[in-house]
Every structure is written in C-alpha cells, then in structure tokens.
Chain A
Amino acid sequence: MIRKSANEMAAALASGEVTSVELTKAHFSRIEAVDAKVKAFLHLDTEGALAAASVIDERRKKGEEFPPLAGIPLALKDVLVQEGVPTTCGSKILEGWRPPYDATVVKNLKKNGVIILGKTNMDEFAMGSSTENSAFHPTHNPWDLTRIPGGSGGGSSAAISSFEAPLAIGTDTGGSIRQPAAVTGTVGVKPTYGGVSRYGLVAFSSSLDQAGPCARTVLDAALLHEAIAGHDEKDSTSINAPVPRVVEAARRGDVKGLRIGVIKELQGEGYQAGVLERFQESLDILSGLGAEIVEVTCPSFDYALPAYYLIAPSECSSNLARFDAMRYGLRVGEGSAEEVMNATREAGFGREVKRRIILGTYALSSGYYDAYYGSAQKVRTLIKNDFEKAFGSADVLVSPTAPTTAFKIGEKSDDPLAMYLNDIATIPVNLAGICAISIPSGLANEDSLPAGFQVMAPAMADDRLYNVGAALERELLAKWGKPLLEFAPELA
C-alpha cells in the first residue's frame, strides 16, 4: 500500500479497500522500519495523526464526500508552523518550541483532510543544499545512505523516496524543493511566488521563499498543489487570482506544438556528464511527442548566483534578528539582555546561518548597500528581463535541475562556494518569481543515481509545468518499465 501513489491511495480509501487509520499506521510502521537509516523526520505526531485519521474514517462512514487527498498521510518540512507541534526549522535555537498557531498551508491541508505524520529534517533555517546544516543530524539519501538527499528540504524528499509518506510539503528559496527532488528521483515544484501563502512559513528570504508540493508522481504533486495554493489575506504578497488548473494539466500531458526553450547558460561546464545525458534524452522524448525545441540565451544568469547570495543573506539577517532569547526559543547565558541574546545566538545558530547573517548584515550596511544589495536587486531586474525575452520565443524553458547527482555526505561541507553551485540552475527562477518543476529524468550512467529535468514557466502559468511533466513522466515510465523508485535499493 505504501508504494502506491497518493492518487491510488485515495481511490483505495474511497472504495473502502483501506481505512485512513490503517494507511496512517502502515506509514508509521514503515518509518519505524527505515528512518533509523534515512533520518528524514525530526518529530512524529503519532497521536495527532491517528486521531485525525480516525475522524476522517468516521465521517467517511457517514457518507461524507471528501476532497481528493482526504485521509492521505503527508510529511511537513519543519519550517512551517503547526500549532502545538514542535517546530525547529532544523535549529537548536527553536528546539522544543511549540507554535500557538497554524501556517495557512497547514490550515489548508487540515481543511482537505490530509494527515500530517510529522515534521521533516532540513538545513537550518532553509540555508543549504544538502541537509547537512541541520543542527540535529544529516538525512541520508535512500538511493545511497552515504549520500546527501539534497537540501534544504532533504527530509521531505527522503521521506517521499523511502516510502515513508506519499506526499510532503517543502519550501524553495533557491532550489530547496527542486534540487532534493532531482537527487532523490522524486517530483518537486516551486509554485509561482505568491501562489502559496507564506503565513506561517518561517522566513528565510522573504522575497524568494515559497512552499510547494513534493511527491512521487506529477499528478500527486498537482493534487497537493491545488490543496495548498490560493490567495491568503494574511499574506500581503499572496496573489489574488484563481489557482492555475494544475490537476487538469497533469491529467492532460500533451506537448504537441509546445515550444520548449533550452537555456544555453544552464548546461555545459560544471554539469555532470550523466546528468546532461539524461537531460538530452528527455529533450529527445519531448521532441518526439511533437514539441519544438529552441535554444534561448539568458546572459544575466551568470550573475544569478552572486546576486542570490547577496539578497538572501541580507533578508535573512533581518528575518533572523527576532531570535533573541526574549519571547520564545533557546535562552542561555548570564548578564544583561544583550549578553544573553549574544550567547543564545552564538549557541543556537549553526555555522552556515552565522555566515549568512554576517554576510547579509555587511551587504546592507551603509556605505556598502549600493555596491552589494543595491546591485543585486538590479541583477534581479536583468534576470526578469531575460526570462521575459526567453518566454517570448518559448512556452516553457528547461534545464537540468542540478549540475550533479547526490554527492557524499561531508564531501562539500567545507567548501561553501562549491556547495552554493548546486543551486546554479534553480536560483534564477526564485529571483524572477516564476514557477518550476523537477521531474526525475532517470539515473546517471556513471553512478546510477537520480538526475532531475527542470521545467520553468512564466508566473501564474504553473499548469504548463504539470502538462510537460506528465507527458515526460508517462514516456519515461514506459521506457523504464516501472517507476524509477522501484530501482532504488531496498531499505528494509
């Protein structure tokens, strides 16, 4: 049962073949069996999940009609607040904190009857590409337990790919949903900025953060996308327009006549050969289905990474200022309020977080603002313009999601610049605020590890992602003979 897609589980629930409580218990059993190795979860809400599941079962028995995902288990990235449930953001500074309120995403999930199993591991405050920056422990890639599952949302992607949950919520600021999806052979989507409410999403970089769906299939991701997206009056930056028809698109999967733009700057040097091979193969498949492949150039993308590493730390240096030991979270140290605050932040924040706070503080300081943060904002305009121009000649743009497959735990943790390069293909999307999806493109020849195919679409055209994704997924499934995850080693 746990190997089914969420959509299939929903059918089983509807037909009475299985109850939500049974389904939930099955997943908790799976977690018990494999999470000691995978370490995807930081907290399991067994009591809460089973209680919610039995309520759904009761109501279903009474003949109540439900939204598609009611009764289906889900893993929640620990950066979203869930009332009464420990929310750490992967950091010691929030260890033990139980929020007194729910994020809007969580409210929407509960409204849809989704069962939240627990909170997943992540790079501290969403800063990282490997989940090694979690203050608690790294998460291990189910494909090879000595390797990283991607980051910052490695816990969510590992949970999905190890069948601990069919659905997960992640957040994406520079690629933190898509890159983990790529290296674990799963589907991950960053919706259009403003498409999903950020109320209750602990802020890392406010103008870049966005919550999104993680799943094993494109349709599952679409169903989850529809459940969580929509305008929220509590989030001033949320878009007041209908949610793009993503489920419809996911069921369609027709790319005949579609113009697909390959971004020149997002391939070539720095990209692993096996990753590029799978990328080309996917392009050929789409071409074979009737899509028109064109090449586009986005020269400002060369500056995307540096611009991101100025904007994100700047915003985060301000967003993380609230952690001062006064109102919630960790408090250590003696003396004055200032001394206690400093001691707490020193003890509570990890190295990467400290690095980015210092960088951000510097980039915003008077005298440096224009050269750093100010300039980065201008690069953002250039990137937006490049995308606009590119979308003039293509309906969607594509690239490999990440330059390499999963690297070994510890391999890049001492080299921040090398670590940052993992996001090179995903970052431009966040800077422009448009949407993108990562679909498994297969296994790289050199190491038999998953690679991802990234599709990008203009803001509010999220449905295009699912349309292309569904088409590619269908063909690849036929080619492989079984879902990609069935090729992963058995964990238990």
Chain B
Amino acid sequence: MKYDQVVATFDPVLGLEVHVELGTKSKMFCGCATLFGAEPNTQVCPVCLGLPGSLPVVNRKAIEYTIAIGLALNCSIAPYSRFARKNYFYPDMPKNFQTSQYDEPICKNGYLDLEVETEDGIKEFRVEIERVHMEEDTGKSLHVGGATGRIHGADYSLLDYNRAGIPLVEIVTKTIEGTGKYAPLVAKAYVKELRDILRSLGVSDVKMEQGSLRCDANVSLRPMGEKKLGTRSETKNVNSLRSVERAVRAEMIRHAGILETGGKVKQETRHFHENTGETTAGRSKEQAEDYRYFQEPDLIPIAPAESWIDEIRKTLPERPSERRKRLQSAWSVPDKEMAAMVNADVLDLVAETVELGADPTKSRGWWLGEIARIANEKEKWAGELPISPVNVKELIDLINAGELTDKLARQVVEGVINGEGSPKEVVALRGFKVVSDDSALMEAIERAIAAQPDVADKVRNGHVPAAGALIGAVMKDTKGQADAAKVRSLLLKHLGQSE
C-alpha cells in the first residue's frame, strides 16, 4: 500500500521510548570509569559485575542529571521515589535483574513542544511525556560464529561488562495521537529536539551512532475515526534520526498492508535494518513478560529537597527553541535560511564557529554550502565529517586575509575532509597560493591576451563583458590561484577600460 493511501485510510498512534546514557564520570552504582572504548572488563568491580555480596550505592550526579532532564521536559519531580528490581535472565545482565524504577519514577507528566517542518509548512505538536526514570545499562555481547555477527546462528558469545552499570535515563512518551501523515516527521523531530535538549544540558554526548542515545518506536494503526487503539509493534535498533523517520514510516506501511487484507497485526518486537529500510520480526510479545518488580531493598529512597531542585532549575540552559530564536535575530537570518540550518542540523556548528569570532553569514555559507553538499554526497550529516568549527574559522580568516579565493577555499574544505590536515596545512601541502602579486599576474594576463588577441581587441573596443574569457584563461593558467577580482581590474586597466 502506498504511503498516501495508508494515511488516508488509517490513523497512526505512536509511542516513543528513548534511552540516554548519562555522561557521568563514574557508573550509576559504583565508582568504575565510564570511558568508551576501554579494554574489555577493565572498568568493572564487584558491584557492576554483580559478584555475590556486592551492593549498589547511588551516584548523586546521575540523580542531578535526571532531575535536570525532567525539569527541561516540564515534568514534576517526585518528592519521593525508589528503585525497583526488574527481574529477568540475560547473560549481559550480571545480577539477572536490572536495578530500575517501577511505580515510583523520579519525574512524571511533562511535555515537549515541537515545530515540525513539513511539506505543508511548519506544524506545531505537543508530545506528552509519561515519565523519566533511572536505570543501569547492561554489558555488551559479541556474538561469534554466526554469519552476520548477530545472535542468530552464533556459536557462542563473548561478554564485556564495561558498559554494565553505566547510568541510563529512560524517557517515555504518552501515546502520541493526531499526527496523521506527519507521524514519521513528528517522531524524528521529537527525537531530534530531545537530543538537542540533552546536549544543551550537558548530561550526555547523545551520539546515536555510539549508542548513548537509543530510540524504540512503538507504532500502531487504527481505522480513521476509530477510538480504540490498534495492536502495536515495537521497533528497536533505530540508530539515527533518519532511521527514526524511516522506521515509523515502514511500520505504518507494513501494518496497513496487513490490516487492509483483513489480517491481524502481531504484538511483537521488530528490528530496523538500515540497509533495506525494512523491519524484521524479533521475539513475539504475545504475553508481556512478568518482571516481578519489587522495591530494591539494597537502596534507600530518594527525596530530593526543594532547594536542590531549585538549584538545578537555575542551572538549566535556555531551551533550544529559545536559543534558535535568539540566534536568528542576532545573526539576522531569514526564516527559510534558519529552517535550512536546523534541517541540515548544522546550527550548533555554525554557532560554534561564530563563537570563535567568524562572521555569521560566512560561517553559515560554508556549513550549509560546501560542507553540507559533501555530507549529502557521503550520506552523512555535516557534524560527522572530520571538519570542525575551528577549521572553518581558520578558512574564513584565510579568505579574509586574501590568502585564499573562494574557489581555492572549496578545495581546501575537500582537503580537510580528506584528512590532509587543517586548512593552513592543506594550503601548504597543496601549494595553494593566491597569486595577487601584480607582476606575476601581469605575466599571466599577457599570455592570455597573446593567446586570444581578438578577444582582447573586443575589450579594447569597449566590450567589457568579453573580458570574462580572458579572466578565465588567466585563472586556468594560474591553476585557480589568482585573485580573480585583481585579475579583472589589472586586465581592464591594461586594455584601457574602466571597471
């Protein structure tokens, strides 16, 4: 069924669960380091390994970060909350229960307002947040022996518990209704806005590619006008913003296909595949697993003092949407350009570049222009490319100093992204030099005139536009390193014309 048909027939309902790995120095319940990429099992201790006799102690910073997240999402902070044990068996969980929160989460009932860019213009949606709670991450398993490195068909698995015990915050929305055909965009916008907020709070490095921000998307369809909710599927392994949008869309189409032929959607976990854009079935969730939740007896309840919450509230940075408005006015950016920056997700990069002292319009020009172009080509987003605001500032400085032309600068950008070094290093490596030395330019100009005498005559006779061909020849001759404006002015003067 085609998407347009799907949304004409059915009403999608979404539920989004986002897990955030907090950027605390130490783990949730012990003092082990949380650095990414350490040698396996070198950041573990009796507590996070779940050795017999070990006991957890709560990381105060993790609570602080969680409260900050709750406040940023307009939640109420529970005056009293506790940890609970979620009991189930899985080798990546050392205790075979996860210390989490159940009926007493630390933050509840918030909301996030979104401005979603659609083909029909900017639409506003409010996503209601059910709860924000704390839990601990699991270890990582490497599946060995199977064809694809995934579980299915593996001979055995190797477990690294460095990640076990890292603080996780789970943010759960209430059902998101009334998005209609914009559902995939709303989902993506929600995760993006959430990510931006988390980044601005400084509580996590929110890198979806590295797993510090994970999204599970719940999708269900019901016939237009129907009040009762349809059966939902839960899609995991959604590792980028683009995947959020694609996964929701794919599930909507898949559900519609089943319902349209009179079938029943199975309540199950699905896995999203980046390469195909499709989902495949995981474990069936016909019976919700019984986690036998009970209050964690090894931990003491949390009752954050009002004064502490107020202190945290004071440290909250401005909301991304407020920041956007402020920057837009500070940089005098038209709406369309602003939206383009937000869409290409380069706003923070531009801001950083401006903060280093570069001109906003020029900064925007590079990030939205050449760099975004290359990013698109490589199917990445600009922030993933190995070029930084520091690089761009250096580039702009070089242009301002007359050491680079725009044309050369574009080549420098390419060089930086290729790993040839900083802009200055690329310039040196590639031997770029803007030829603005008059005598050198004159030599090139003479050569061009000699090669195209008739064009030169045209110019002498007053046909100034014809100079373009000669300027072009000089640029070619100087391998694009000539300062085009200077060439033009010298050439015209030489041929007796004014500019």
A positions within 8 Å CB-CB of B: 80-81, 87, 89, 94, 99-101, 103, 198-203, 206-207, 233-237, 314-315, 317-318, 321-324, 326-328, 337-338, 341, 361, 364-366, 369, 373
CB pair A322–B55 under 8 Å, yes or no, is no
**Residues on A with beta carbons closer than 8 Å to the beta carbon of B53:** 80-81, 99, 103, 198-203
Task: Please encode chain B, from 38 to 73, with 1 for each CB lying within 8 Å of some chain A CB and 0 for all others.
Answer: 000000001001111111111000000000000000
CB pair B55–A236 under 8 Å, yes or no, is yes
Q: A237-B298, A237-B300, A318-B97 are in contact. Are A101 and B51 (CB under 8 A)?
A: yes
**B258 → chain A, closest Cβ, in Å?**
29
Chain B interfacial residues counted at CB < 8 A: 29
**Residues on B with beta carbons closer than 8 Å to the beta carbon of A366:** 290, 292
**Residues on A with beta carbons closer than 8 Å to the beta carbon of B76:** none
**Residues on A with beta carbons closer than 8 Å to the beta carbon of B157:** 337
Residue of chain B at shortest CB distance from A207: B297
**Residues on A with beta carbons closer than 8 Å to the beta carbon of B52:** 81, 87, 89, 94, 99, 202-203, 322-323, 328
- In this complex, which of B85, B292, B299 has the most chain A Cβ atoms within 10 angstroms of its Cβ? B292
**B472 → chain A, closest Cβ, in Å?**
70
Beta-carbon contacts under 8 Å, B24-47 to A: 46
Bound-state Cα–Cα, A207 to B300, Å:
11
**Residues on B with beta carbons closer than 8 Å to the beta carbon of A327:** 49-51, 94, 159
Q: Top 3 nearest A-B pairs by Cβ distance?
A: A321-B96, A364-B292, A206-B297
Q: Would you mind naming 18 contact pairs between A and B with Cβ atoms under 8 Å apart?
A: A80-B53, A89-B52, A99-B46, A100-B46, A101-B51, A200-B54, A236-B299, A236-B300, A237-B297, A318-B87, A321-B87, A321-B97, A322-B95, A326-B159, A327-B50, A328-B52, A337-B157, A361-B292
**Residues on B with beta carbons closer than 8 Å to the beta carbon of A373:** 294
Task: Please encode chain B, from 155 to 178, with 1 for each CB lying within 8 Å of some chain A CB and 0 for all others.
Answer: 001010000000000000000000
**B275 → chain A, closest Cβ, in Å?**
28
**Residues on B with beta carbons closer than 8 Å to the beta carbon of A203:** 52-53, 298
Is B89 located at the chain interface by the 8 A CB criterion? yes
CB pair B294–A364 under 8 Å, yes or no, is yes
CB pair A324–B91 under 8 Å, yes or no, is yes
Bound-state Cα–Cα, A134 to B293, Å:
30
Task: Please encode chain B, from 284 to 298, with 1 for each CB lying within 8 Å of some chain A CB and 0 for all others.
Answer: 000000101110011
**B352 → chain A, closest Cβ, in Å?**
40
Bound-state Cα–Cα, A80 to B51, Å:
12
**B30 → chain A, closest Cβ, in Å?**
9
CB pair A321–B300 under 8 Å, yes or no, is no
CB pair B97–A199 under 8 Å, yes or no, is no
Bound-state Cα–Cα, A198 to B49, Å:
17
Beta-carbon contacts under 8 Å, B256-292 to A: 290, 292
CB pair A322–B94 under 8 Å, yes or no, is yes
Bound-state Cα–Cα, A407 to B279, Å:
65
**B414 → chain A, closest Cβ, in Å?**
49
CB pair B96–A324 under 8 Å, yes or no, is yes
CB pair B50–A206 under 8 Å, yes or no, is no
Bound-state Cα–Cα, A80 to B57, Å:
19
Q: A100-B46, A337-B157 are in contact. Are A234 and B89 (CB under 8 A)?
A: no
- In this complex, which of A80, A233, A337 has the most chain B Cβ atoms within 10 angstroms of its Cβ? A337
CB pair A321–B95 under 8 Å, yes or no, is yes
Bound-state Cα–Cα, A373 to B87, Å:
15
CB pair A322–B96 under 8 Å, yes or no, is yes
CB pair A206–B97 under 8 Å, yes or no, is no
Bound-state Cα–Cα, A99 to B51, Å:
8
Q: A314-B294, A364-B292, A364-B294 are in contact. Are A338 and B55 (CB under 8 A)?
A: no
